[in-house]
Structure 1
Amino acid sequence: MSLSPLEQTLLQLLEIESPTGGEGPITDWIEAQLTGWGWQVDRLGHALSARRPQGSGGVPVGLFGHTDVVTDLEMAPIKVEVDEIHGPGASDMKGGLAVMLQLAKTLQNTSLAKEPTLVFYDKEEGPLADNGLGPLLAAQPQLHELALGLCLEPTDGQLHLGCVGSLHVEVTVHGKAGHSARPWQGVNAITTAGELLHRFHQWQPRATEIQGLTFHDTVTVTTIRGGQSRNSVPAACTFNVNLRFVPGRTTAEALADLTDFVGEDASLKVIDASGGADVVLDHPLVQDLLKTERLEVAAKQAWTDVAQLQTVGVPGINYGPGATGWAHQAGERLERTRLQEAYDVLERWLRG
């Protein structure tokens, strides 16, 4: 079965294991490829940006991709089929990285209407505090001058605008410890938590329309733990609540909603807070893309690093070849035609 250069690049990326926190080898490989093609690389830890030394003076834009993946070779063995390529991170987001690298190789000496900066970074799949993009943005203020940033996250080949914010909060219901043979001497925090958990279960998504796109505020209980031993009345029951909130709302507003909802039934501890990103449908470079390409436009009902770009004044959009339904899944895969389509769309956009 013949493979295009783009597909060969993807397979090379898939063969380099890059779990969160283990991105060193893949970053070394990417850096070697870029410098070999004549790009100027500025690296910070396991994150880097790359530019063409002799740019063509086009509008400065950035292409962004994280190098860490969730799946591994056991969950997603590498396999090439007629329509798909399987492997760890194929959709999230080594397909996007392959597109970035193939663009770098093809366009290294080409006159372009939009001058690209390529940014590869680590630890996106973990807590925001560990995300490698933040320190890179702080260390390289030239990135703040980009007219637009494009994150090649999986979007099923659609253009996803904006992104929802994300708030992780530990909610703890308190009881009183006691011996399980004499439960009346204590207060069972786990069973007491049942009523609050049921109320969370009944919380319905709230839709908000922004520039014709529908986003949702959502609340999900994602983990739960409680009890200190199997023969004791549990004194505490703690669960993680992940609240996603629409663009335009602040983390403080989202936390206030959650606090009001919980009331005096439990205590709250914020673990991670990430603001959302605005919809930039009217941006001239976005309109330029939509005039030349027939892309379906949708709301980004997830958090992505366009939110971090917004904090330094760079508007951002999401567009990539990956399948959202295969991200983080056993058997992760990517459609070969969609991979090529994403490359073609971005090459035309950079040239035009």
Structure 2
Amino acid sequence: MAADLDPWSDPVELTRALCDLPSVSGDERAIADAVEGALAPLAHLEVLRDGDAVVARTRLGRERRVVIAGHLDTVPLTDPPNLPTELRDGPDGPELWGRGTVDMKGGVGVMLALAARLDAPRWDVTWVFYDHEEVASALNGLGRLVAQHPDWVQGDFAVLGEPTAGGIEGGCNGTLRVDVRVPGVTAHSARSWMGDNAIHRASEVLARLDRYEPRSVEVDGLTYREGLNAVGIRGGHATNVIPDECVVTVNYRFAPHQDPAAAEAHVREVFAGFDVVVTDAAPGARPGLDDPLAAAFVEAVLARTGGEVAPKFGWTDVARFSALGVPAVNFGPGDPLLAHKDDERCPTAQITTCFDALHFWLAS
């Protein structure tokens, strides 16, 4: 039997109830059932289900549609478990402690509370609650919806409720991982002059990274900082053998003005003369802040939060909306630096502020 969630309850209490339901990646059935059960009775919403992803949308015939999305899953609990949630006094007021309070049940609680209350929003709204965000990209529930039900998540502008401490973070950087392979010649280490040490030769790869000056690129009025860094190195077979290969794994975080193909070309240029093998790539997302819907969102939110608009340097699922041609931003309660930590916690005031700001934008 599905747990009961009251979407009309206070967003902070709703966040607590969501956190206390089982929802570690791969175990989202109970929370998806509870979210569907809370939304299904609402006459103003059409509710759809795919696996453990739940979509609810208005059908009011508005000229434009916005999509507001958030993932239901969390990383594993601590040992001992950091659930059920606790309310504690913080330096700036009450804080909600426990797994998921930051990433991202605060955002989901805000979404669920708004979905119930906004029966006649300014624009048509699609609410997307999806599974498997905290694991391999191939399992991502939003990715599955984009691939199998693109009409369910199509819109003119999207907001992803990822934690931003109540600020607006536009778009996101793309990410590219490559293996830079350095060949050598094997030999017995007692006769090392008979070989060619691949690990030693890899010093040139590291030197190029050390000399590299990452770019700052302005996209749609936001300045994205790029980065090119070694994130792993492997080589050698035994302690008495000169290695015949060394592999340096490099991660390139690139601004959303270029696609993965352009990012790959840039990395190959940096490592000219070496064998470069792409192992993973994901495009970034332009924030599209010049879109009238995005501009209205920024104006309404900043009027309520007093914050500012910043770029998202990490990769988030806004890129999946960008792939559909939908400009998207990140906006939600919780300090992203506390996501996944043992002391994960969110000021309750941020949950309330994000709820008020989105309500003001959607209802005005």
TM-score range, shorter chain: 0.7 to 0.9
What's 2:163 paired with?
154
What's 2:359 paired with?
347
What's 1:188 paired with?
197
2:181 corresponds to which letter in structure 1? T
What's 1:81 paired with?
88
**Are 2:12 and 1:7 aligned?**
yes
Q: Would the alpha carbon gap of residues 307 and 190 (structure 1) be closer, same or farther in structure 2, given more than 3 Å must change?
A: same
Residue in structure 2 matching 1:125, options 124, 127, 134: 134
**Are 2:316 and 1:310 aligned?**
no
TM-score by length of structure 2 reads: 0.85
**Are 2:56 and 1:50 aligned?**
yes
What's 2:252 paired with?
243
What's 1:27 paired with?
32
1:298 corresponds to which letter in structure 2? A
Kept in 1, the 8 Å contact 2:35–2:54? The answer is no
Query: Is the deviation greater in 81-90 or in 186-195?
Result: 186-195
Q: d(CA) in 2 for partners of 1:278 and 1:291? A: 18
**Are 2:277 and 1:269 aligned?**
yes
Matched residue SS, 1:92: coil
1:33 corresponds to which letter in structure 2? A
What's 2:221 paired with?
212
**Are 2:242 and 1:233 aligned?**
yes
Q: d(CA) in 2 for partners of 1:272 and 1:191? A: 26
Q: d(CA) in 2 for partners of 1:221 and 1:70? A: 26
For residue 275 of structure 1, report the CA deviation from its aligned partner: 1.3
Percent of residue pairs bearing the same amino acid type = 37
1:45 corresponds to which letter in structure 2? G
For residue 71 of structure 1, report the CA deviation from its aligned partner: 5.3
Residue in structure 2 matching 1:93, options 86, 104, 122: 104
2:99 corresponds to which letter in structure 1? P
For residue 256 of structure 1, report the CA deviation from its aligned partner: 1.0
CA RMSD of aligned residues (A): 2.5
Q: Would the alpha carbon gap of residues 312 and 293 (structure 1) be closer, same or farther in structure 2, given more than 3 Å must change?
A: closer
Q: Would the alpha carbon gap of residues 145 and 13 (structure 1) be closer, same or farther in structure 2, given more than 3 Å must change?
A: closer
Matched residue SS, 1:282: coil
Deviations 1:3-38 (A, max 9, x none): x73222222222234344443343233223322545
What's 2:298 paired with?
290
Kept in 2, the 8 Å contact 1:276–1:307? The answer is yes
Kept in 1, the 8 Å contact 2:228–2:252? The answer is yes
Q: d(CA) in 1 for partners of 2:25 and 2:195? A: 42
What's 1:325 paired with?
337
1:18 corresponds to which letter in structure 2? S
Q: Would the alpha carbon gap of residues 196 and 278 (structure 1) be closer, same or farther in structure 2, given more than 3 Å must change?
A: same
Kept in 2, the 8 Å contact 1:163–1:300? The answer is yes
For residue 314 of structure 1, report the CA deviation from its aligned partner: 1.7
Q: d(CA) in 2 for partners of 1:278 and 1:43? A: 29
Kept in 2, the 8 Å contact 1:76–1:330? The answer is no
Matched residue SS, 1:304: coil
Structure 2 unaligned residues grouped into runs of 5+: 1-8
Deviations 1:30-71 (A, max 9, x none): 22332254543322223231124x647474211111223335
Q: d(CA) in 1 for partners of 2:214 and 2:80? A: 31
Q: d(CA) in 1 for partners of 2:123 and 2:81? A: 36
Question: What is the number of equivalent residue pairs in this alignment?
Answer: 345
